[in-house]
Amino acid sequence: MIPVAFTYKRAGSVSEALELAAEHGDDAKFLAGGHSLLPLMKLRLAAPEVIIDLTGLRDLSYVTDQGSHIAIGALTRHHDVEHSDVLRREVPLLAHTASQVGDPQIRHRGTIGGSIAHADPASDLPATLLTLDATLVAQGSDGSREIPVGEFFQGLFETALEPDEMLTEIRVPKPAAAGAWSFQKFTQRAIDWAIVGCAVQDGRIGLVNMGGTPLRAAAAEAALSDGAAPADAAAHAAEGTSAADDIRATRAYREHLARVLVSRALTEASSRV
Amino acid sequence: MKVDLTVNGKDITADVEDRMLLVHFLRDVANLTATNVGCDTTSCGACTVLLDGESVKSCTVLAAQASGHQVTTLEGLAADGEMHPVQRAFHNEHGLQCGFCTPGMVMAIVSMLKENPHPTEEQVRQGLEGNLCRCTGYHNIVRAALAAAAEEKVTA
């Protein structure tokens, strides 16, 4: 399969990438690792006229301990998130989630920022960052701004980013109980997207693929904070969700999976305290 | 557009379409046909090559993205007529049946052993989650990876 013809531009810096984005507007797409965008282009579900390749911006690949939070450059690859000593120590949930994305080859190319900006509700990292209450930093021609992750995902493949903005950094506050985490993912085959997944940390529960965006399981979180046992809280995991009916699973099956996986995740997280 | 790649140590400059995929560059421009197109959807791993020493699926990388970088294909593994230890292990352990997945499997294992020279069987199986064998000959492929790791241990 071959994408529709496009013009390839390689950005040498953030400002050059932003200039190219401003110049080409809606006709252009940023390309990071390319492991979400290129498959869509090959299937001709996406046909941008201009591709702005960001992979040369090596200074946006980093993981640094900032005291109260960990700062992660948007172009940090899943492989580097997975193997980061800082993240394994301070936010093991995030390092583990990165290790569950795709397969080793995909993790050698895909980036955390690309995954977030693509905003596929079936992706693992958006739900985990929602669970970790991360802050996203976007750079535009007028400077940068912070976007709480809870306001970032606005719909299927839609984010709060403006067309002339790019995601540059992800800030993850250090969890209160970093060790008490869990990530669960149910797939048909090893490298498939999650039919349903969930992440748990500090009493927050994030859901993968239970709606058009990653979601917090608010009713289950409320039950948990009222002192419900993991299995009782998990019974509320599908409340307020809007999972799809599709070729892989019915909505009812996804809701069942959400309850089962959240129960497992809460039990595992509490056993790690 | 003009791209300039180093493939198996050799500099290759060519004028290609911006949309050309790395796997097509390797097969049709560099005439290196060990790298197979299998699923063409980033799933099967038959097109796995090393980009700057790390395994990638060349059906999901643009030739333009690889410009200025080093690519290693299966053809680049053997040195001085001697098979690479992973190739030798596939031969000894009968790690292939029809052979279609083999180039990708070998390259994925070369990359895996570089990152983790002494993997457990479980780690080998996890490390090959991105490579499918339609003959389902996984047991001997895993044995080959473990044999190659053991051999490298001896020679290291």
Angle at the Cα of B82 from the Cα atoms of B77 and B83, rounded to 5 degrees: 50
For chain B, the average pLDDT equals 96
- Rounded to an integer, the average pLDDT of B29-56 is 97
For residue B28, give the DSSP letter.
Answer: I
Q: Label residue A208 exposed, middle or buried (CB < 10 Å: 0-12, 13-18, 19+).
A: buried
Cβ–Cβ gap A108/B55 under 8 Å: yes
Domain match, B6 and B72 both: yes
- Rounded to an integer, the average pLDDT of B21-49 is 97
Instruction: Find the length of chain B.
Output: 156
User: Does the beta carbon of B48 lie under 8 angstroms from any beta carbon of chain A?
Assistant: yes
Domain match, B98 and B72 both: no
Cβ–Cβ gap A104/B18 under 8 Å: no
Residues forming a β-bridge with A215: A207
pLDDT tens figures, B51-84: 999 999 999 999 999 999 999 999 999 999 899 9
Residue A164 banded pLDDT, cuts 50, 70, 90:
confident
* Closest chain A CA to residue B51: A108
Sorted by sequence, the CB contacts under 8 Å of residue A269 that are 6+ apart come out as A180, A181, A182, A200, A201
Q: What percent of chain A has pLDDT over 70?
A: 100
Count of pairs with CB atoms under 8 A, one residue in A, one in B: 79
Sorted by sequence, the CB contacts under 8 Å of residue A192 that are 6+ apart come out as none
From A7, A51, A106, residue closest to B42, measured CB to CB = A106
- Range B37-67 burial, b when 16+ CB lie within 10 A, else e: ebebebbbbbbbbbbeebbbbbbbbbbbbbb
* Closest chain B CA to residue A11: B65
Contact A23, B34 (CB under 8 A): no
pLDDT of A13 over the 60 cut: yes
- Ranges of H-type helices in B73-137: 85-92, 102-115, 121-127
> Chain B contacts of A105, Cβ < 8 Å?
45, 48, 55-57, 108, 130
pLDDT of B133 over the 70 cut: yes
Could you name the CATH architecture of A7-53? 2-Layer Sandwich (3.30)
Strands (E), chain B: 2-7, 10-15, 48-51, 54-57, 70-72
Phi, psi of A23 (to 5 degrees): -65, -40
DSSP per-residue letters across A8-77: EEE-SSHHHHHHHHHHHGGGEEEESS-TTHHHHHHTTS---SEEEE-TT-GGG--EEE-SSEEEEETT-B
pLDDT of A14 over the 90 cut: yes
List Cα–Cα distances, A40 to A36, A165, B5, in angstroms.
7, 21, 25
From B21, B42, B55, residue closest to A104, measured CB to CB = B55
pLDDT tens figures, A243-252: 999 999 999 9
pLDDT tens figures, B86-128: 999 999 999 999 999 999 999 999 999 999 999 999 999 999 9
The count of structural domains within chain B is 2
- Rounded to an integer, the average pLDDT of A209-217 is 97
> What is the interface pTM, i.e. ipTM, of the complex?
0.96
pLDDT of B41 over the 80 cut: yes
> Chain A contacts of B129, Cβ < 8 Å?
103-104, 190-191
pLDDT tens figures, A38-49: 999 999 999 999
Mutate to test the interface with B, among A100, A103, A188 (most CBs of B within 10 A): A103
Domain match, B89 and B149 both: yes
Query: Residue B156: its pLDDT value, please?
Result: 46
Query: Residue B154: its pLDDT value, please?
Result: 56
For chain A, the straight-line distance linking the first and the last C-alpha, in angstroms and rounded, comes to 48
pLDDT of A125 over the 70 cut: yes
Residue B45: give the domain boundaries.
2-76
From A8, A106, A190, residue closest to B62, measured CB to CB = A8
Domain match, B150 and B119 both: yes
Measured CA to CA, the distance from residue A169 to residue A71 in angstroms comes to 7
- Rounded to an integer, the average pLDDT of A118-143 is 97
* Rg of chain B over all Cα atoms, to the nearest angstrom: 15
- Range B98-131 burial, b when 16+ CB lie within 10 A, else e: eebbbbbbbbbbbbbbeeeeebeeeebeebbbbb
Contact B17, B2 (CB under 8 A): no
Query: Residue B2: its pLDDT value, please?
Result: 98
CATH of residue B106: 1.10.150.120
> Chain A contacts of B65, Cβ < 8 Å?
31, 34, 53, 55
Determine the topology of domain A181-271 in CATH.
Enolase-like; domain 1 (3.30.390)
Q: Which two tokens stand for residue B133?
A: 């064998």
Measured CA to CA, the distance from residue B144 to residue B134 in angstroms comes to 17
For chain A, the domains span 7-53, 60-173, 181-271
Domain match, B97 and B68 both: no
Cβ–Cβ gap A3/B19 under 8 Å: yes
**Three-class secondary structure of residue B55 per DSSP:** strand
State the CB neighbour count (10 A cutoff) for residue A155. Answer: 11
Q: Among residues 75-104 of chain A, which lie with CB inside 8 Å of chain B?
A: 79, 102-104
**Three-class secondary structure of residue A205 per DSSP:** strand
Residue A64 banded pLDDT, cuts 50, 70, 90:
very high
Query: At which of B76, B93, B118 does a domain end?
Result: B76
CATH code: domain A60-173 is: 3.30.465.10
Cβ–Cβ gap B65/A53 under 8 Å: yes
State the virtual CA torsion across B98, B100, B101, B106 in degrees, nearest 10.
90
Beta pairing, strands B2-7 & B70-72: parallel
Cβ–Cβ gap A42/B41 under 8 Å: yes
Query: Residue A189: its pLDDT value, please?
Result: 85
**Shortest Cα distance, chain B CAs vs residue A108, angstroms:** 7
User: Does the beta carbon of B108 lie under 8 angstroms from any beta carbon of chain A?
Assistant: yes
Q: Which two tokens stand for residue B86?
A: 């992973």
